[in-house]
Amino acid sequence: MSSHTNGVRNDWTIEEVRELYKLPFLELVYQAASVHRKYHNPSEVQVCTLLSIKTGGCPEDCGYCSQSVHHKSAVEIQPLLQPEDVLKAARKAKEAGATRFCMGAAWREVRDGKAFDRVLEMIRGVNNLGLEVCCTLGMVSEDQARKLKEAGLHAYNHNVDTSPEYYGKVVTTRTYQDRLETLKNVRSAGITVCCGGILGLGESEEDRISMLHTLATLEKHPESVPINTLVPIEGTPMQDNQPVSVWEFIRVIAVSRILMPESMVRLAAGRMELSAEAQALAFLAGANSIFAGEKLLTTPNPEFERDMELFSVLGLKGKVPDNAEKSMRAANA
């Protein structure tokens, strides 16, 4: 089925995506803002917190990443954390107002065994706090996805990163098809999908259009679409990449909003380089989620207080979690 009664489409053609991408800038932002208001409360922004539960030593060769063993970056290796430490961080995030807690592991894939069982325990714990739990653990099988779902996982993050055409220039240790396979496994387990990409990998405008086309023509749109801009990491092949223009970044946000009207579009990595005014424009163009807290996985992120100041200036407020009822119960417990 390609078109739904609520106007959400997944039969976008590449020409349609290109046409949107090439609209005059202000016309594009206006159209995106109009769509945003139809599907979302424009004054609500989802606040997510990230925690790296296993850092560095990853066997994949993603050209942008600080955690790959193939690059000489300065990241400190940290083995899998203990569930009680993760819960401590999750409680802190909740107290600060986060409603979604995302745990990232520098793994190529999940392997059954003690480490995976520990992650399942973390998921149960964070879920019990009434937070929406998200994980990003590399590739997962259908059976592993089912176990994650049973533990209470709300969302799984697995980015396509760039276009299928450019992917081989970014990573060689896995294929685009591998990525799509994991996304399918996550979907069939009934977990919501968080899937987006990174700008600034050296891709062309056509690659950005093609990535957006890939995301918008998935059988079901990802419930969240994180848009990252490259945080250049010394020691990686992309350390000297040209920074992404803020106009291009806002274009990608706006086109994502128009193509995937129901999805949450997240300003992910790269906010350290974005001015308050640029972020305001991004929120106008349909972004409605951020990662908050001083650190992403291995790189810095704006200070929480700064973000709250920006919310106050723009009249924005944090969104309540999808499992709000449970959150109320947890708060009253």
Q: Which residues carry out catalysis?
A: 58, 62, 65, 102, 134, 194, 266
3 state DSSP class of 107: coil
21-47 in b/e burial notation, b at 16+ Cβ within 10 A?
A: bebeeeebbebbbebbeebbebeebbb
Q: How far is the CB of 108 from ligand SF4 (least distance, A)?
A: 6
Whole-number Å distance between alpha carbons of 152 and 307: 29
3 state DSSP class of 15: helix
Among 159, 163, 279, 289, binds ligand SAM (CB under 6 A): 159
Task: Return the structure tokens found at 209.
Answer: 């259009």
Among 31, 49, 66, 236, binds ligand DTB (CB under 6 A): 66
Segment near ligand SAM (CB under 6 A); pick from 6-14, 121-129, 158-166, 305-313: 158-166
- For residue 149, give the nearest of 124, 130, 166, 125 by alpha carbon: 124
Residue 35 interaction partner, one of ligand SAM, ligand DTB, ligand SF4, none, beta carbon < 5-8 Å per kind: none
By CB atoms closer than 10 A (0-12, 13-18, 19+), residue 242 is exposed
Q: How far is the CB of 246 from ligand SF4 (least distance, A)?
A: 24
Task: Return the structure tokens found at 82.
Answer: 């203990």
Instruction: Count Cβ atoms below 10 Å from residue 326 Cβ, excluding itself.
Output: 17
Contact flag: residue 170 with ligand SAM (CB under 6 A): no
Segment near ligand SF4 (CB under 6 A); pick from 11-19, 58-66, 150-158, 279-287: 58-66
Among 21, 64, 101, 311, binds ligand SAM (CB under 6 A): 64
DSSP states along 76-93? PPBPPPPHHHHHHHHHHH
Segment near ligand SF4 (CB under 6 A); pick from 7-15, 63-71, 188-196, 218-226: 63-71
Nearer to ligand DTB, 31 or 288 (CB): 288
User: Within positions 307 to 326, which residues make up the interface with ligand SF4, using CB under 6 A?
Assistant: none
One character per residue 191-230, x = contact with ligand DTB (rule: CB under 6 A): -----x-----------------------------x-x--
| CB within 8 Å of 99: residues ≥ 6 apart | 46, 47, 48, 131, 132, 318, 319, 320, 321, 327
3-19 in b/e burial notation, b at 16+ Cβ within 10 A?
A: eeeeebbbebeeeebbe
Residues forming contacts to ligand SAM in the complex (CB under 6 A) are: 64-65, 104, 106-107, 136, 138, 158-159, 161, 198, 228, 230-231, 233, 269, 297
Which residues of the shown chain bind ligand SF4 in the complex (CB under 6 A)? 58, 60, 62, 65, 67-68, 106, 108, 138
